[in-house]
């Protein structure tokens, strides 16, 4: 069978999914193009001085890497020329951004309009180490026909997402997407510059024996998280009656990709040190899109207390605790926390 390109895949999906109109297709195609361009910038690395840190601090209070800014500009440039993008939120921008087409062509906007939220470069602390980084995106419906949707329009529960995805810039570039109809993985064929479907209908293996958490925060964890991880560490002699392995890449994209491929659970819980800010990971452009993907692949995702996709955000850069992966593990973590 010949390989299926992303455009062929989208034509087939349009026959099946009522919400996949031409506007949404064009947004997704542009996001894929932005990922290709970002992949190129990442791959050029030190040749273009893009691995350096900058002096600037973003709205999260993080020191920016040159690639944070380069990738953000790439995504903005695609949004600027896509009339179906009504507004966007990025990890690297303090406020909602309105694409340039809105300013130039004020009264002609199409019916099919969307809100984008993205993390242009995820795992940027790994940039100087040549360890995998990625991009994460979420597409929400634009609630009404207003010209410039304000921050309030973005404060929708993640269950309303119409599409989510991530690109992973590893030794090959992969694009993983969901349109609410399962999860499919594409690999960038550098000889044709096309994304080709390589792992259709990804499903998270349910028999988990791998967990991912930043152990350096252990002393700040809640008792329920101490208990869950403690039981994993007891191994075959303990209550779980099996040995667990541990991983921590510090790139959420790479962690979620590993879970899709070989199962397990990824946790960045809130703890006594970061409780005030809610957690480390951002709801709109990290937790929500990854939760949509994980649920669509047969897994589960929570804050350790509640389903992430049900949370109605208070503000665009809201942070939450995240526990995602194999359903049984996430349910166990939830049970320990909700007791």
Residues that bind ligand AHG (CB under 6 A): 62, 91, 119, 122-125, 214, 250-252, 268, 280
CB of 183 to Mn ion, least distance (A): 19
Tell me which of ligand AHG, Mn ion, none is bound by residue 118, counting a contact when its beta carbon lies within the kind-specific cut-off of 5 to 8 angstroms: none
The answer to the question of whether 123 is labelled as a binding residue is yes
Whose Cβ is closer to ligand AHG: residue 4's or residue 125's?
125
Q: Distance between the two ends of the chain, CA-based, in angstroms?
A: 52
CB of 60 to Mn ion, least distance (A): 6
Both tokens assigned to 128? 């100087």
Whose Cβ is closer to ligand AHG: residue 64's or residue 161's?
64
CB of 165 to Mn ion, least distance (A): 14
The answer to the question of whether 276 is labelled as a binding residue is no
Tell me which of ligand AHG, Mn ion, none is bound by residue 250, counting a contact when its beta carbon lies within the kind-specific cut-off of 5 to 8 angstroms: ligand AHG
Query: Which residue of the chain is nearest ligand AHG when measured via CB?
Result: 252
Which range binds Mn ion by CB under 5 A, 20-28, 89-97, 169-177, 182-190?
A: 89-97
Tell me which of ligand AHG, Mn ion, none is bound by residue 213, counting a contact when its beta carbon lies within the kind-specific cut-off of 5 to 8 angstroms: none
The answer to the question of whether 124 is labelled as a binding residue is yes
Cα(32)–Cα(270) distance, rounded to whole angstroms? 32
Nearest to 315 by CA among 282, 281, 272: 282
Q: Which of 20, 24, 35, 91 binds Mn ion (CB under 5 A)?
A: 91
The answer to the question of whether 130 is labelled as a binding residue is no
- For β-strands 173-178 and 163-169, DSSP reports them as antiparallel
The answer to the question of whether 12 is labelled as a binding residue is no
The answer to the question of whether 62 is labelled as a binding residue is no
Whose Cβ is closer to Mn ion: residue 196's or residue 249's?
249
Cβ partners under 8 Å of residue 186, min gap 6: 6, 9, 174, 175, 176, 177, 195, 196, 197, 198
Both tokens assigned to 54? 């900058």
CB of 91 to Mn ion, least distance (A): 5
Residues 24-83 that bind Mn ion (CB under 5 A): 62
Q: Does 122 bind Mn ion (CB under 5 A)?
A: yes
Ramachandran angles phi, psi of 105, nearest 5°: -130, 50
CB of 289 to ligand AHG, least distance (A): 12
Binding site residue list for substrate: 122-125, 214, 280
What does the binding site for Mn ion look like in residue numbers (CB under 5 A)?
A: 62, 91, 119, 121-122
């Amino acid at each position: 069978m010949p390989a299926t390109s992303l455009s062929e895949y989208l034509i087939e999906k349009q026959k099946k999914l009522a919400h996949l109109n031409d506007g949404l297709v064009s947004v997704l195609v542009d996001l894929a193009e932005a990922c290709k361009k970002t992949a190129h910038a990442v791959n050029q690395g030190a040749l273009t001085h893009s691995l350096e840190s900058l002096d600037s601090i973003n709205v999260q209070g993080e020191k920016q890497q040159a690639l944070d800014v380069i990738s953000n500009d790439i995504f903005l440039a695609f949004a600027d020329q896509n009339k179906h993008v009504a507004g966007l939120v990025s990890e690297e921008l303090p406020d909602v951004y309105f694409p340039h087409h809105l300013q130039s062509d004020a009264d002609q906007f199409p019916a099919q309009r969307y809100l984008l939220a993205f993390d242009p470069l995820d795992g940027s602390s790994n940039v100087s180490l040549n360890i995998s980084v990625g991009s994460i995106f979420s597409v929400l419906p634009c609630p009404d026909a207003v010209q410039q949707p304000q921050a309030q329009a973005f404060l929708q529960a993640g269950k309303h997402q119409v599409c989510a995805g991530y690109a992973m810039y590893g030794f090959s570039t992969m694009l993983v997407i969901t349109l609410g109809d399962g999860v499919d993985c594409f690999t960038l064929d550098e000889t044709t510059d096309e994304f080709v479907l390589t792992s259709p209908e990804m499903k998270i293996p349910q028999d988990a024996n791998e967990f991912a958490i930043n152990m350096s925060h252990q002393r700040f964890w809640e008792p329920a998280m101490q208990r869950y991880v403690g039981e994993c560490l007891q191994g075959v002699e303990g209550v779980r009656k099996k040995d667990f392995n541990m991983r921590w890449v510090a790139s959420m994209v790479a962690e979620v990709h590993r879970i899709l491929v070989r199962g397990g659970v990824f946790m960045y819980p809130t703890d006594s040190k970061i409780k005030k800010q809610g957690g480390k990971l951002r709801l709109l452009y990290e937790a929500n899109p990854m939760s949509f993907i994980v649920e669509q692949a047969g897994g589960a995702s929570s804050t350790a207390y509640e389903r992430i996709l049900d949370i109605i955000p208070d503000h665009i850069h809201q942070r939450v605790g995240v526990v995602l992966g194999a359903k049984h593990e996430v349910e166990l973590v939830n049970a320990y926390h909700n007791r």
